[in-house]
Amino acid sequence: MNPRAEGIIALINQVALERRRRESVPGLHARVAAVKRYQQRRFMHTYSDLLASQRYGAAARFFLDDLYGPRDFSQRDAQFARVVPALVRLFPSEIVNTVETLARLHTLSEQLDSEMGMHLDVSEIAASDYLKAWHATARRADRSLQIGLTLEVGSALDLYTRRPLLRHSLKLMRGPAKAAGLGELQRFLESGFDTFKEMRGARDFLDTVAARERDLAQALFDARGSVSGVETETSKRAAKQALELLPPDA
């Protein structure tokens, strides 16, 4: 098998193992689902202006539904794993690169969500619960990587909009992709391509996402003292900032 296909399949298999681990721990699956719901609320709160924007609304919705959504992707992932060799063989190398990045992002996000769930004892999350679980999970470098991979996917889609031949080749892939069981991936790529093209340049959008995600992560990490009980003026300010950046409790 092609080494790139093997690498993508290995990432998908890690996600499957993560899901099985959740099922083996009583209540963990439900708590992880709560984490995902809260993170979707958080995205809607952080990017309410972009979601309401005529220029950026569709791209923000694409991120919300396809990268931050709480949907169960287990069946899709199982189907996808079976057709990865066909993907690597049929799709242009640039597209395969993006799929590999997506797989890395998907795997890392699932692992982090599981750890967040392990540190919760509630099924509906308040901002203070999220802050405590974030600190118990930690993994600052992986949080930075998670943001970087998200931006990498967005940058790739933006780059594709300036390559008409790549878009044309993607259209030509519809039939073969559907026949190979890659219809959902085809939908994701075409939707992302067309959504980013409508923006007429995604740099400002991606810069906004980068700044807000990094500011929130920094505030959450800097609030450690307020969570651990060893409070300083810096941690108090950071905790206040983090709670302002998170969605208000229902």
| Interatomic CA distance for residues 86 and 215, integer angstroms | 40
**Whole-structure pTM value:** 0.88
Residue 207 CA from chain centroid, whole number: 16
Per-residue pLDDT averaged across 220-238, rounded? 74
Residue 233 has pLDDT above 60, yes or no: yes
Question: In Å, what is the CA distance from 128 to each residue of 153, 218, 239, 246?
Answer: 30, 16, 9, 9
pLDDT at residue 203, as a whole number? 93
Give the tens place of pLDDT for each residue, 114-166: 999 999 988 789 999 999 999 899 999 999 999 999 999 999 989 888 887 77
How much is the mean pLDDT over the chain? 86
| Local structure of 53: helix, strand or coil | coil
217 pLDDT above the threshold of 80: yes
pLDDT value of position 206: 96
| Alpha helices in the chain, H assignment, sequence order | 3-24, 28-46, 48-51, 57-66, 74-90, 93-118, 127-137, 140-160, 164-172, 174-179, 183-199, 203-222, 224-228, 233-245
Residue 226 predicted with pLDDT over 60: no
Q: Residue 5: what pLDDT?
A: 87
Task: Return the number of other C-beta atoms located less than 10 Å from residue 71's C-beta.
Answer: 10
Residue 114: the pLDDT is 95
CA-to-CA distance for 29 and 44, rounded, in angstroms? 23
Q: At a CB cut-off of 8 Å and minimum separation 6, what does 62 contact?
A: 191, 192, 195
Number of other CB atoms surrounding residue 168 within 10 Å = 10
pLDDT, residue 75, reads 65
Higher local confidence (pLDDT), 208 or 8: 208
Q: Encoding tokens for residue 5?
A: 């296909």
pLDDT at 113 over 80: yes
Give the model's pLDDT for residue 188. Answer: 76
User: What are the sequence ranges of the domains in the chain?
Assistant: 3-245
Average pLDDT over residues 175-192: 75
Residue range 62-82: average pLDDT? 73
